[in-house]
Structure 1
Amino acid sequence: NEFYHKDVTRFLKHQSMHQLFSKNTHSFVASFVEEIGVENYIFISKKQLESAVMKESAEVKELISSIFNAYSSINDFLERILKVIDLLKEEVTGLEKEYLFRFYTVFTQLKTLQKTYEYFTDLKTLSLFFKQLIASETLSFQGEPLRGLQLMGMLETRVLDFENIILTSTNEGVLPAGSQQNSFIPFDVKLAFGLPTYREKDAIFSYHFFRLIQRAKNIFILYNTEHDAFGSGEKSRFVTQLEMMRSDIVHKNIAPKVIPSKTALKEVSKNEATLARLKELAIKGISPSALTNYLHNPISFYKQKILKIKEYDEVEETVAFNTLGTVVHEALDELYTPFVGKFLSQAIVTEMQKGAKDLVTKHFKLQFKNGDLTTGKNRLIFEVANRFVANFLSKEVDLLKGDKNQLKIIATEENLAAEIKIEGIDFPIKLHGQVDRVDELNGVLRIIDYKTGMVSATNLRVPEFENLRDEKHLKAIQVLLYAYLFTKSKNYNFSKPLEAGIYSFKNLNSGFLGIDFAQARKAPDTRITAEKLDAFMVEIKKYILEIYTPTLDFIEPA
């Protein structure tokens, strides 16, 4: 009684169904498909479908019932399909009615076969016969015979005369078809018994070809000179014969001029609406991730922050990487929140380890709604999340062994904000962000960002601030912005040493990776000072000024 979400959405969004659904039902389809994505329904029950169409017309309910209700027999199934075709025929165009008629014919044939022989025991067998029958069906495209372009086969032109003729694909092997014969009787046997061979067939097509062109005024014969899968590139023997018989033939070699198209970089100018939206953003606040998104791709920033285009809620059959990150962040936040403002001990962290797996499971259930974590890739990702948290807590235990280190939790998942003024912008810009953790280790204050991806020390080396736009510095920009926001929102006076960095869960053996300001081949310099933050913010203000300068367009990076 459950159906795979892709099958359900494909059915509801099918163009034939749309024609049957009323305008009111279109909104039901949109809202129901959205609900499937938001709630992460991988399988949809019959009860959910019935609830979704409760307020719809009797026709829609009948359609949903015919498709999704369990069938008692193959005869019952075929009756339902014929009923669906009957429902659809009133809402379609003339050509689509022709399609439906062919389907109706095929399913009626299958129904007759089943009633007579009761051969179909399951849908697999029925599907096999359906595919064979449908492959032999043809559609007749009928046009106006007395005007317009007439598309015809060679045999359809018999006893008809035309003023203008365009003959296509006049290649050897196509016209005539050549020695290809769909026959079980060998060629020699046919000759011996006087049966017609491909030679007689070639003669018939030769007759039709020359008869067709005898009274025409304008004849255009097209053939392909290229060797490809459709032929040898040799012109038909009929064309060669014409060339020998007549002298008034005009030859033209036609080759399309393929001009390689240069894809221009996307460029968006800033109009009044864009500038108004940017002003709203200044009031609401620009986050470190939004700023790094701009530096990475201004068009992506424009789509997210100006156009407010949200990512489509797709059903997660396999846990997405960002979901894994959220689960790990939330689990660690819940583990450490009770100890904010307190010093940690080895015993406290050991106690945390006991409840870590339950918290990971809890947050997986919240983030990966209705998903299955017991099998396949999802089970592996679930175990990876547990391993990330367990390994991190083990590192904390090692850090606190023997009371040699003093670790105090200052904050977890804390929202920080600060306003800055930039010359050239006549209103303040708010910066805001959520720092994963702030702690104090042996008197050194640390601003910490958790990353479930791979980060190495080289990603956090910033010897100078002039080249921050380089993609390798984007993670460092985020962490330094968190440090700046912390110092401003807390009025920090730098009385204690300050560091900022990342814990990379794929590189936990490296421990805490701090921002390193040292030049190449110099001793590490991880201490953050007011002067360094001021120099850093000079560059950041330049980037923000770019965003708010009306004459500078948003341009896609090359």
Structure 2
Amino acid sequence: MDRALRGEIPARFSGELFVRPAEIADDPAIAGVARDVLQRNGVAADRGRLRRILHGLHETLFTAWERCTTVADLAAALESLLALLAEHGRLEEYPPNLAVVERLLETARELAGSLIAGERFAPSELFRLLRERVEEEVVSFSGSPLAGVQVLGLFETRALDFDTVVMMDVNESVLPRLRVHEPLIPRDVMLALGLDRLEREEEIQRYQFTRLVAGGRDVHLVYRVGGDAERSRFIETLVWERERVCARDGGAAGVMHPIRWSFAFAPLPAARPIPKTEEIVGVLRSMRYSASAVDTYLNCPLRFHYQYVLRLREAQEPGEEPGSGDIGTFLHDLLRERYAPFVGKKLRIDAAFRRAFMRELDRRFDEQVEPRMRADAFMVHDIVRYRMERFLDAEERRLEDAPVRVAAVEKEYAGTLGVDGESVAFRARIDRVDLVDGTTPLILDYKSGSAAKAPRLPVEVPSADVRRVLKETMHSFQLPVYIHCHGALRGAIPDAALYSLREPEELSFLFEGIPQGERRKLVGGALEALRALIREVFDPAVPFAPDDGEPTYCGICPYQSLCR
């Protein structure tokens, strides 16, 4: 199901946010994949049987509950679910599961035999009744009553005495625990009938508390202080009685001083550096490095380890709304599709191109983005359209300055870099390469976010603490890696720029106004810095250490839970 919703399996409902159970059961792709998985595990099953199983599951888990109009219907749906779990589940492998099912079955039978079983209620009221009824149930731990520590609820101590008693959370709202509202009968009605259930319930809990305390030789009552926490009225009664006794015996009012304990909750320690084993160093030497991989190591070696060495990927939840990264991918795909016909031709941004561009944007958004979003999809759509209109305006102004011929769109380039006698492989997928005035190459890298950093040149190669120094001085190796993989070092050094899709008017060039001879020196210096960084990557004495110097970067890191 997860794979089908994400579009990995070509089901009829792929990419949809809302799906009917019948669509899932009747989709041949789902039944086919399930059959293949079962056959690989030695279980024979045909599509018809799998379809019937899915329909049965949907009936028990969804449809039967949707049809509930009376308490008897609710009890029948619950019993049907419990029967399914008992017949096909694995309840016997964990004894508490059996106890929970037994208690739920008792609840279902109580509801079915109640005086209101045939009364009709709104579905929301029925489900609230069941939820509140189940919340009252307690499944106790079974222990030996003759030895060891007994973990018991207050009412489980009836008729039992203990030498040592430790009672936790003796605070108001916990002890006594009183429910003001009943799911069926309003409190005002109960008071009008002379049924003050709250007073009676408090008396019962006070009796159990007093009896347990009186029967123990060593009693510890633990409660929280501070904020809205107040110690229980039962403790206040004990304190008042004890102080009265002290005042009577000593002639002066005695004051009790409870023992105070405080607990300091220190945050979990930061992630420890991960050492580089010989196997890991071998993997590092054989990798093909992208500009993103280099920048990831520059910002946080530990994230580089998780993302590029271990290749851990964040699981996408089915039905999860698209994030900023998904919108960026959507825009990159749109620009690739609309600019690909201009490869080898002169770029033209006219009214016909704009209309076709916006029609394609609307179509793709309706198919790929809107089904995964909630009511605010129209706002995202308007923002995307507005930014793309500004982008096309900026493109049109560029064409007024000089004619542009598109040389490549989303093309992958490869290159190598010599590091201490070794050839390190690099690859770069460049969003777009333009030929300005028909001859001068311009490498463009689209950026849909706001955190893009252009490299700062020239850069000096540090002699120590290479990564940290380069992070502060170089910022990013993306454009130098693109220039190197483009192969331009064999000829003229092209210019390059980060093209912000948020602020397309602010296109800043890496080498604007810098002559070719100086450009070659700047790129050569950047590659020397890259060699120094790669040496550190290969160095087994330098572990993959976390870098938490930028809270914003850590906040969007998908591996932040592994750093604690």
Q: Structure 2 length normalisation: TM-score?
A: 0.71
Stretches of structure 1 that go unaligned for 5 or more consecutive residues are: 1-31, 185-195, 518-523
Shift of 1:325: 1.8
Give me the whole-angstrom Cα distance separating, in 1, the residues matched to 2:406 and 2:169: 82
Shift of 1:239: 5.3
Equivalent residues of 2:68, 2:123 under 8 A apart: no
Shift of 1:209: 6.5
Give me the whole-angstrom Cα distance separating, in 1, the residues matched to 2:135 and 2:174: 25
Give me the whole-angstrom Cα distance separating, in 2, the residues matched to 1:65 and 1:203: 47
Pairs within 5 Å for 1:259-338 = 260=266, 263-281=269-287, 285-315=288-318, 317-338=320-341
Pairs within 5 Å for 1:92-107 = 92=91, 93-107=94-108
Equivalent residues of 2:60, 2:77 under 8 A apart: yes
RMSD over aligned Cα, in angstroms?
A: 4.4
Give me the whole-angstrom Cα distance separating, in 1, the residues matched to 2:289 and 2:219: 66
Map Cα deviations across residues 282-327 of structure 1 (whole Å, 9 max, x no partner). Answer: xxx2100111011111111111111111221233553322222222
Question: In structure 1, what is the equivalent of residue 133 of structure 2?
Answer: 133
CA distance 1:327–1:138, shift in 2 (3 Å): closer
Give me the whole-angstrom Cα distance separating, in 2, the residues matched to 1:159 and 1:227: 35
Give me the whole-angstrom Cα distance separating, in 1, the residues matched to 2:132 and 2:169: 31
Question: In structure 1, what is the equivalent of residue 427 of structure 2?
Answer: 432
Stretches of structure 2 that go unaligned for 5 or more consecutive residues are: 8-13, 32-46, 182-186, 189-198, 251-256, 462-467, 549-564
Residue among 539, 542, 546 paired with 2:536: 546
Larger mean CA deviation between 537-546 and 94-103 belongs to 94-103
Pairs within 5 Å for 1:149-298 = 149-151=149-151, 162=162, 164-168=163-167, 208=211, 212-213=215-216, 219-223=218-222, 226=225, 229-231=229-231, 236-237=239-240, 253=259, 255=261, 258=264, 260=266, 263-281=269-287, 285-298=288-301
Give me the whole-angstrom Cα distance separating, in 1, the residues matched to 2:381 and 2:405: 30
Give me the whole-angstrom Cα distance separating, in 2, the residues matched to 1:154 and 1:317: 43
Question: In structure 2, what is the equivalent of residue 108 of structure 1?
Answer: 109
CA distance 1:61–1:549, shift in 2 (3 Å): same
Residue among 438, 452, 455 paired with 2:448: 452
What is the SS of the residue equivalent to 1:258? coil
Question: In structure 2, what is the equivalent of residue 462 of structure 1?
Answer: 457
Map Cα deviations across residues 204-252 of structure 1 (whole Å, 9 max, x no partner). Answer: 7898468625xxxx524445595561417867345557889999xxx99
CA distance 1:471–1:384, shift in 2 (3 Å): farther
What is the SS of the residue equivalent to 1:371? helix
Map Cα deviations across residues 240-280 of structure 1 (whole Å, 9 max, x no partner). Answer: 57889999xxx995735637457234311111331232233
Question: In structure 1, what is the equivalent of residue 392 of structure 2?
Answer: 393
Give me the whole-angstrom Cα distance separating, in 1, the residues matched to 2:134 and 2:360: 55
What is the SS of the residue equivalent to 1:413? strand
CA distance 1:291–1:363, shift in 2 (3 Å): farther
Shift of 1:538: 0.5
Question: In structure 2, what is the equivalent of residue 484 of structure 1?
Answer: 484
Pairs within 5 Å for 1:508-547 = 508-510=504-506, 512-515=507-510, 525=514, 529-547=519-537
Equivalent residues of 1:413, 1:436 under 8 A apart: yes
Give me the whole-angstrom Cα distance separating, in 1, the residues matched to 2:145 and 2:444: 78
Equivalent residues of 2:414, 2:428 under 8 A apart: yes
Give me the whole-angstrom Cα distance separating, in 1, the residues matched to 2:479 and 2:360: 26
Give me the whole-angstrom Cα distance separating, in 1, the residues matched to 2:329 and 2:429: 13
Equivalent residues of 2:157, 2:212 under 8 A apart: no
What is the SS of the residue equivalent to 2:218? strand
Question: In structure 2, what is the equivalent of residue 47 of structure 1?
Answer: 22
Give me the whole-angstrom Cα distance separating, in 2, the residues matched to 1:292 and 1:400: 32
**AA aligned opposite 1:258:** A
Residue among 393, 404, 412 paired with 1:407: 404
CA distance 1:393–1:465, shift in 2 (3 Å): farther
Shift of 1:88: 2.1
CA distance 1:170–1:160, shift in 2 (3 Å): same
Q: Structure 1 length normalisation: TM-score?
A: 0.72
What is the SS of the residue equivalent to 2:306? helix
Equivalent residues of 2:140, 2:152 under 8 A apart: no
**AA aligned opposite 2:109:** T
What is the SS of the residue equivalent to 1:129? helix
- Count of aligned pairs: 482
CA distance 1:389–1:165, shift in 2 (3 Å): closer
Give me the whole-angstrom Cα distance separating, in 1, the residues matched to 2:320 and 2:175: 54
Question: In structure 1, what is the equivalent of residue 42 of structure 2?
Answer: none
Shift of 1:440: 2.2
Equivalent residues of 1:327, 1:385 under 8 A apart: no
Shift of 1:197: 11
* Identical aligned residues as a percent: 19
Shift of 1:396: 2.6
Shift of 1:150: 3.8
Shift of 1:42: 1.9
Larger mean CA deviation between 375-384 and 219-228 belongs to 219-228
Equivalent residues of 2:410, 2:432 under 8 A apart: yes
Equivalent residues of 1:451, 1:502 under 8 A apart: yes
